[in-house]
Amino acid sequence: MHLLHDPAAPAAAPIAFDDFLKVDIRIGRIIRVDPFPEARKPAFKLTIDFGPGVGVKRSSAQVVDLYAAEELEGRRVAAVVNFPPRQIGKFMSEVLTLGFPDAEGRVVLFSPDSDVPLGARLF
């Protein structure tokens, strides 16, 4: 198992609080889910609305093992919105949608357990 996915791995090296503040993690709502058949690992193309400050962005998410496209639409998710866009095949991913691995290594999306406004920033 990769160190990043190993729940028994020790915590990463300490960082300064200012470094944490540089990572802009926001809440968005998935407004569209498209298949991504050309991806190397099964994935969806997500279109996510982060509200007026960040706007609508796209992301690739390897979540097909646990989620159907229909249950993703309307779901609130957390994403890093200030990484540079990343080319994944012919698709440009603009944000990193966040999740945690379950016991089998499948991605479980990270989302708030109460309603928060689109664009709300993690602190």
Q: What is the DSSP string of 39-70?
A: SSS--EEEEEE--TTT-EEEEEE--TTT--HH
To the question of pTM greater than 0.85 for the whole model, the response is yes
Question: Could you read off the pLDDT of 27-83 as tens digits, one per residue?
Answer: 999 999 999 998 889 999 999 999 999 999 999 999 999 999 999 999 999 999 999
Both tokens of 14, joined, read 């300490």
Please provide the distance, in angstroms rounded to a whole number, between the alpha carbons at the two ends of the chain.
29
Residues found in the chain: 123
CATH fold label, 24-109:
OB fold (Dihydrolipoamide Acetyltransferase, E2P) (2.40.50)
51 and 12 Cβ atoms separated by less than 8 Å: no
